[in-house]
Amino acid sequence: MRGYLVNNQPQKSFVYFLLTMFLFISYSCQKEESNILEADLSANAEISGKDKNAKVDICHKGKVLNISINAVSAHQRHGDAVDLDEDGFFDIENDCGPVDCDDSNFEINPNAEEICGNGMDDNCNGEIDEACNSLPAPIAYYPFNGNANDESGNGNDGNVSGAVLTTDRFGNAYSAYSFNGVDDFIEIPSSAENILSSTDFTVSVWFRSTSESEGVIWEKRSTNSCIPGEGTATGLKQTSMGQENFLEAYANASSNYNLNSRNAVDTGDWFNAVLVREGVFLTLYLNGIVEESVSISPGTDFTTTLNLYIGKAINCSGSNFKGDIDDFTIYSEALSGSQIATLYN
C-alpha cells in the first residue's frame, strides 16, 4: 500500500497543478471581463452625452436593433454599426444603409442638404460646399466671342458702335471688346432681363483700363439727364480719387448709393467687378473680395427703362471708358461670396 501511494504522488501533484491553473485562469477571465465591463460603462457614459438609460439604434447583421446605451461598446467590438446622433445613418460600413460621415452631428448625413459657406460636408458626398460654387443660369450674358450677342438665350443682342474685338484675359483673340475712350460703346435694348427693379440681382463684368481718365464701364438709366443723382440709374465706372483711379458702383433711386473700391484699377490689369443687391444690402466685389457694402431702404426700386450702355453713360459727354471689357453678365439673384469667387477664379 505504501508503495502504491508513493508511485501515485506525481499524479496527485499534477492534478493539483491543473486545478490551480484552472482556478487562476477563471479568476483572470472574470477580472478581464470585469475590467472590460467597467471600461464599457465608462465609455458609454460619455457617448453623445446620453443618459445611462438611453437607447440607440445599431445595425446588426443587416437588421436595425434598438439597444441600451450601456451595450453599445460591446456591439462595436463585434463590428456592429451605431447611430449615435439618431439621424437614421450609422457610423461605419454596414448592411443597413449609407455611412454617416459625422455620427456626432444629426444635421450631417447622406440625406442632408449641402449648406453653402459653412466649410462642412453636410451631405457626406466627400465634397465641401460644392453647391455653393455652382452658378445659376444668367438672364443676360455677353461673352463677346466674336460679337455682342446675348448668349443667355433671351436674345437681347447688343449693337456695337465703334468698339473693336480684341484679345481677352486668357489670350483668346476676338473674345473681348476694346473701347477708345472717345465715342465707342455697345448699346443693349432695355428688357425685363436688365431693368434690375426691386428684387435681388447680380451684375458681373471683366474690364482692363488703359487710361487714367474717368469712364463708365456700364450704366442703365431711366432718364436722359446727365446730372449726377437725377433719376434712377445703376452703373459702374472708373473714377478719379486723388492721383489714382478707383472703381465706383452707383445705384440711384429714391436715395443715392455709392460704393467704392479700396484699390486703384487703372493699372492695366484685368479686374472682375461684381455688384450684388441682396435684400437691403448692396455689395461691391473686386476680384472676388468685398470692397464695400451699404444698406438700402427696404423695397428700393432700381427699375430703369432706357437702354443699357457698355463703355459709356447715356448721352453724357466725357463718360466714355478707355480699355477692354469682357463677359458682361446679369443674374436674377444675389450670388454668394463663394459663387463670386468662382466667377473670379
273-302 per-position pLDDT tens digit? 999 999 999 999 999 999 999 999 999 999
Is residue 109 in some structural domain? no
Reply yes or no on whether the pLDDT at 7 is more than 60.
no
Is residue 145 in some structural domain? yes
The answer to whether 184 and 163 have CB atoms below 8 angstroms apart is: yes
Reply yes or no on whether the pLDDT at 36 is more than 60.
no
The answer to whether 284 and 157 have CB atoms below 8 angstroms apart is: no
Q: Please identify, among 100, 116, 150, the residue that sits at the C-terminal boundary of a domain.
A: 100
Instruction: Specify the pLDDT at position 2.
Output: 46
For residues 36 and 157, state if they share a domain.
no
For residues 167 and 300, state if they share a domain.
yes
Q: What total number of domains does the chain contain?
A: 2
For residues 200 and 148, state if they share a domain.
yes
Q: How far apart are CA 306 and CA 323, in angstroms?
A: 24
Is residue 169 in some structural domain? yes
Closest CA relative to residue 132, chosen from 146, 121, 147, 142: 121
CA 332 from chain center: how many Å? Answer: 18
Instruction: Specify the pLDDT at position 148.
Output: 98
Domain carrying residue 297? 140-344
SS3 content of the chain, % helix, strand, coil (to 5): 20, 30, 50
Kindly report the pTM of this predicted structure: 0.66
Q: Please identify, among 100, 117, 151, the residue that sits at the C-terminal boundary of a domain.
A: 100
**Across-strand partners of 273?**
205, 286
Instruction: Specify the pLDDT at position 185.
Output: 96
Is residue 132 in some structural domain? no
Find the mean pLDDT for residues 90-101. 92
For residues 316 and 244, state if they share a domain.
yes
Is residue 191 in some structural domain? yes
Reply yes or no on whether the pLDDT at 262 is more than 60.
yes
The answer to whether 242 and 254 have CB atoms below 8 angstroms apart is: no
The residues, any chain, with a CB within 8 Å of residue 109's CB and separated by 6 or more, are: 87, 88, 89, 100, 101, 102, 123, 124
- CATH code of residue 251: 2.60.120.200
Is residue 194 in some structural domain? yes
Q: Please identify, among 81, 100, 119, the residue that sits at the C-terminal boundary of a domain.
A: 100
